[in-house]
Chains A and B, each alone.
Chain A
Amino acid sequence: MQPLRKIRRRAIGMVTSIGVLAGVWVAAGAPIYQGF
């Protein structure tokens, strides 16, 4: 695989992982806080 494509794929994977885990926190967590 070309290095640039590999870096892009890994960056997308990283953002997706962080997004999914933040989503788990929002969906399964139940804190009360100002601004949400």
Chain B
Amino acid sequence: MIVAPVLLGVVIGWARRGRLGGLGSLRLRAPMLVFAAVGAQLALGRLPATWRWPVVLGTYAAVGLWVGLNVRGRPAAVRAGLGLVALGWAMNLAAMAPYGGMPVSVSALRAAGFDADHDVTGGHLYKHVVADDGDVLARALGDSVPVPPLRAVISSGDIVLAAGIATVIAGAMGRRPPVGHPGPTGRHPPTSASPPAGHAPRPG
């Protein structure tokens, strides 16, 4: 589940004839903001319950700041992906803010294969609360989408966020034109018969 959006992005990138090496030149700014947010959420279980929601809010602020710092100067596909990441982030935050945590639908939990008495407030990074299934906001933006094959319940914000991460990865991997097809410059890519650039045969 953790690697699902990353794997999806890599598969889409390969399908577009992109290269995994393209991720090496993505150079995302301020990575420590994200690592610190993950670290803080992993430590939530050790904190008093009253501290958890303010810390979760702080981690969401860190991710929001990270997105803002990374938009500038990116290719269009990466920018579009970051836009989706920002939208998913905002949808999840909007779902969590009124409840002090992500509201989880009990009926969706059952549909995903969880026990009826499963405690969503313990574990799961301590950022979930039980939702009233009749609550419109919780049903629209909360964890209300069961994914039985993964035994998971996700939110609509999670879906948008995952699509954004996959788009960033696929966009960073680039896109090579098919062999024999002129590239964006109108020039044909080099074939095995033609010498690489800078290695033209000497005359005579």
Is A26 a contact of B41 with CB atoms below 8 Å? yes
Which A1-36 residues have a C-beta within 8 angstroms of B?
Answer: 9-14, 16-36
- A21 CB to closest chain B CB (Å) equals 5
- A26 CB to closest chain B CB (Å) equals 5
Is A23 a contact of B124 with CB atoms below 8 Å? no
> How many residues from B make CB contacts under 8 Å with A?
57
Is B59 a contact of A27 with CB atoms below 8 Å? yes
Is A25 a contact of B165 with CB atoms below 8 Å? yes
Is B154 a contact of A17 with CB atoms below 8 Å? no
CA A13 to CA B24, docked complex, whole Å: 4
Is A29 a contact of B162 with CB atoms below 8 Å? yes
Is B162 a contact of A21 with CB atoms below 8 Å? no
- B139 CB to closest chain A CB (Å) equals 15
Closest chain A residue to B27 by CB distance?
A13
Is B96 a contact of A18 with CB atoms below 8 Å? no
Is A31 a contact of B143 with CB atoms below 8 Å? yes
Is A32 a contact of B143 with CB atoms below 8 Å? yes
